[in-house]
Amino acid sequence: MKPPPFSYHDPRTVADAVALLGRLDNAKLLAGGQSLMPMLNFRFVQPDHIIDLNRVEGLSYIREANGALEIGAMTRQRDLEFSDVVRARLPIMHEALLQVGHRQTRNRGTIGGSLCHLDPAAELVSLATGYDATVTVAGPSGERQIPFAQFPVAYMTPAIEPNEILVGVRFPQWAPRHGYAFVEFSRRHGDFAITSAAALIEADAGGKITRASVTIGGMGTAPSRARELEQALTGQAPSAQLFRDACESCRKLEAIDDIHAPASYRQHLAAVLSRRALEKAHARLTGADAAQARPH
């Protein structure tokens, strides 16, 4: 399949890209093209204009600022995968990225493209949900911030106006010592997950959980936080029994039926994967994973 005909635009600044969006009817932004090109080739979208963001200055960066990691929208998934600062400050992102498509798709795919495409099973969308990230969008009257909880407005539809561009995303960091894990189930490695679980935990000196974030992806129109589970964990001493019992509440989360799996199977996966993610996160928090990996 070939894409339908379109005019190509190649702006160099965010202001020029925003101006083009305001001036041109039926325009689409191109980032890494890893979702847009298949959609063009399948004729799911038929824009008259493509505005390429690849040569727009200042949209590719990873930097620490005010207790957060700020990432430019055009930062490639590969650059995040190989970033030392991401591994040190946001280690769950490294683990999640290894499950995003393939090396070839990560070479081109960007974080901004993934967040705007907003697939309910996308790993980076789950992480933005779990971290209460904030996205920055630029439009004709300047920039505005959107808390990620308000970013998905419908299935694969972000809260961006037609004349706005996502320029960056901010992930508030967790304590330097925290537990994390991203686990998912997909039919083949590199496929979108049928269901995924992203877990983050912090504990006090006595080992009790002081903070927990668990996000389930692939269940509904967007990844969602397992709030009942998070509450059940907070203030408790971690144990296999606690994780097993508390994760059962994930069976009550709303889920879709589709060609890949019925809702009941996704709900079962949500309970199993959240438990596995929490066990892994806890082992990392206590250092038990390193002890297991050491030769005897």
Ligand X SMILES: Cc1cc2nc3c(=O)[nH]c(=O)nc-3n(C[C@H](O)[C@H](O)[C@H](O)COP(=O)(O)OP(=O)(O)OC[C@H]3O[C@@H](n4cnc5c(N)ncnc54)[C@H](O)[C@@H]3O)c2cc1C
| 280 touches 183 (CB < 8 A) | yes
Residue 160 interacting with ligand X (CB under 6 A): yes
Q: Which of 60, 83, 114, 195 is close enough to bind ligand X by CB under 6 A?
A: 114
Q: How far is the CB of 193 from ligand X (least distance, A)?
A: 7
From 108-116, 204-212, 256-264, 277-285, give the range in contact with ligand X by CB under 6 A: 108-116
Angle between helices 263-286 and 240-247 (to 10 degrees): 150
Q: How far is the CB of 223 from ligand X (least distance, A)?
A: 11
Of 226, 62, 219, the residue nearest 130 (C-alpha): 226
Residue 209 interacting with ligand X (CB under 6 A): no
Cα dihedral 182/183/189/193 (nearest 10): -100
Residue 30 interacting with ligand X (CB under 6 A): yes
* Residues near ligand X (CB under 6 A), total: 31
* One-letter identity of residue 162: P
Within residues 37-76, the interface with ligand X by CB under 6 A covers 53, 73
Within residues 182-201, the interface with ligand X by CB under 6 A covers 190, 192
Burial 37-61 (b: 16+ CB within 10 A, else e): eebbeeeeeebebbbebeebeebbe
77 vs 249 by CB, closer to ligand X: 77
Of 224, 164, 220, 166, the residue nearest 198 (C-alpha): 224
96 vs 209 by CB, closer to ligand X: 96
Q: In degrees, to the nearest 5, what angle opens at C-alpha 19 toward C-alphas 15 and 21?
A: 120
Residue 101 interacting with ligand X (CB under 6 A): yes
Q: Which residues in this chain contact ligand X in the complex, by CB under 6 A?
A: 28-36, 53, 73, 100-101, 105, 108-110, 112-114, 116-117, 119, 122-124, 160, 165-166, 190, 192
